[in-house]
Amino acid sequence: MKLARRPTIGVFDSGFGGLTVLKALLQAIPGADYAYFGDTARLPYGSKSVETVARYAVEAAHFLESQGAQMLVIACNTATALALDRIIASAHVPVVGVVEPGAEAAASATKNRKIVVIGTDATVSSHAYRKALETRGLEAKEKACPLLVPLVEEGWVDHTVTEQVARIYLAEAFAGSFHDADTLVLACTHYPLLLPLLRRAAPEHVRIVDSAESTAHSVASQLRKLVPANSDEERRSVARLKFFATDSTEKFQRLGQRFLGRAIESVQHVDLKE
């Protein structure tokens, strides 16, 4: 399958966090256009059943395809962990999730083959990262850090309270036989905003793997195989961005720019049928 010279990449998340994946994609693949769908009316996905998450994710995938997406990036760790197979089965275009690229990057980063993964309750309960890492012959310890997402959404990305919370979580994560683990995987798309703070809170010897960045590199690698060589002029042209949300567009613009690192000009409200 060959894609258009300037493909449209659809990016899906339950909310705002996936915008860190979009930010990484824009840096890695400036020669594409993007459609971002945030299912903000139905978040969080973490408290919902596998069946419900799969249904929501498939609806979102079909919507993005209707907007011309020729490749889908599931920027939601929960949806990737619980429903990636269902999304791939129902989609008509290539699909990339965030778990496998994050695990692959961790495998490349580690020297002693011991990895700590931090994420939300739902992602950790799915054990998707642990399974992906163990398949690669690595030891993995997962740690749920439920307070970090609300702190990020509050804008407290460099607050002393957030740093104290992170230090407590990481001290527990790197306890016992994992005190010498040398790689930390950020298995939540909110966590890249905390990167400087997590760098301070983590043990000095630890390398940090951002699954958002790893996913962007994985998508770029796949696109090179699927897209004909672009002219220099096409590569330089500015990406067209479309944003869709199922809840308040004003809130999406306000919160979203923190994650994307730039202003979001307009957001279209979408109602997906239950």
Active site members: 76, 188
Q: Could you tell me how many residues make up the chain?
A: 274
Distances 53 to 41, 59, 100 between C-alpha atoms, Å:
13, 10, 19
Give the residues across from 241 on adjacent strands.
Answer: 34
In whole angstroms, what is the distance from residue 130 CA to residue 177 CA?
16
The tokens of 28 are what? 């890695």
Peptide bond into 192 cis (omega under 30): no
Residue 201 amino acid letter: A
The tokens of 131 are what? 């399974």
17 by DSSP, 3-state: which?
coil
Gyration radius of the chain over CA positions: 18
The tokens of 253 are what? 């613009």
User: β-strand 241-245 against 71-74: which pairing, if any?
Assistant: unpaired
In whole angstroms, what is the distance from residue 132 CA to residue 103 CA?
6
The tokens of 53 are what? 């998450």
